Structure 1
Amino acid sequence: MMTGNKLAAGLLALGLALGATGAFAQAAAPQYMNGGIGEGEQDAIKAAAKDYNLHLLFAQNNGEYISDVKLEISDAKGATLLTLPSAGPMTNVKLPAAKYKVAATYKGQTKEQQVTVSEGKTSNLSWRWDGAGK
């Protein structure tokens, strides 16, 4: 038979274990690097690219890089993992291996792509806009 102290200690341990499980269930926002305006920033992002497994590039159809892209990355269940209100022209993200939906909005035009991030591999996505909203 458990005494009051042992029962309380057991319930406390159970509560801590459940609390820890809940804390680990909430994933932290993924690491990312964003920028690329100017040669210096582009060089820095390219140099660090090896540390990230998802590389994103935003441009207009004429090849001109763009920023001010609203970026949203969601997991397969639809939970938003990362939102950047002003991404681009280059964004590198570090994600666990899984399937994701990446939505990019520029001047009111949203484009979506599905991507599978695999262990030990790099995924590259790029978007081009035709000057939407001008």
Structure 2
Amino acid sequence: MNTLNFRPAHLRTAVLLAALTLGGAMATPTWAATAAARGQQDRPVVVQEDILLFDPVPGTVYLNGGIGQTEQQQMRKDAPNWPLRMTFSDKSSDEFVANVKLKVFDQGGHAVLRLRSAGPMTYVQLPQGEYRVTASYKDQLLTRMVHVGPKGTDANFHWLV
């Protein structure tokens, strides 16, 4: 069993934000459960017809979204509760992008988060420390070292596509 290092308020906020984003209704208590808790790692959990939850690395809590103004506003409002806040954009058009392949590694080189389709905004609950982030969009790889301090950090990834 993994021990998560986050305040319960963060989970409640993430669940509430997800519910608001999806029309204001939570389907079942499945929202609070993860694939890892059910021993189904690397397999999606169907919550509602068009909603899949993944737990790519057990124990890492993240929020991914930001498509549309309403969702962006909700995520920005909740941003202070997330130690690592990442945004992804196309430098040439100054537009947000999604479908980013994202990996976050701790100082020991262990993957703490892997997403096949991140963005345009991805927030992650991580302890303070140094992390290596790799983000790939349209076969262009960007790598950055980020320091997560007491107030968290923002990491912006921009591609010239």
Global fold match (TM > 0.5): yes
User: Does the alignment pair 1:44 with 2:74?
Assistant: yes
Q: Please tell me whether Structure 1 or Structure 2 has the larger radius of gyration of its CA atoms.
A: 1
Q: Specify the alignment match of 2:59 in structure 1.
A: 29
Within 2, Cα distance between the matches of 1:110 and 1:40? 29
Q: Distance in 2 between matches of 1:103 and 1:29?
A: 20
Query: Under a length normalisation based on structure 2, what TM-score does the superposition of the two structures give?
Result: 0.62
Identify the residue that residue 53 of structure 1 maps to in structure 2: 83
> What is residue 104 of structure 2 aligned with on the other side?
73
Q: Residue 119 of structure 2: which of 88, 97, 106 is its match?
A: 88
**CA–CA distance in 1 between the matches of 2:134 and 2:74?**
24
2:130 equivalent in structure 1: 99
Unaligned runs of 5+ in 2: 4-56
Secondary structure, counterpart of 2:155 in structure 1 = strand
Aligned-pair CA distance for 1:28: 4.3
Q: Distance in 1 between matches of 2:60 and 2:147?
A: 15
Q: Which fold has the larger relative contact order, with Cα–Cα distance below 8 Å and residues 6 or more apart in sequence?
A: 1
Deviations 1:64-120 (A, max 9, x none): 1100001100001110010011000111111001110011000111101001111x2
Letter in 1 for 2:64: N
Given that residues 99 and 115 in structure 1 are in contact (C-alpha distance below 8 angstroms), is that contact kept between their aligned partners in structure 2? yes
Q: Which runs of structure 1 show a deviation greater than 6 angstroms over 4 or more consecutive aligned residues?
A: none
Q: Map of 1:6-25 to 2, 5 A cutoff? A: none
CA RMSD in angstroms comes to: 1.7
Matched to 2:84, the amino acid is: L
Paired residue total: 107
Higher helix share: 1
Q: For 1:110 and 1:29, locate their aligned partners in 2 and report how far apart those are by CA, in whole Å.
A: 26
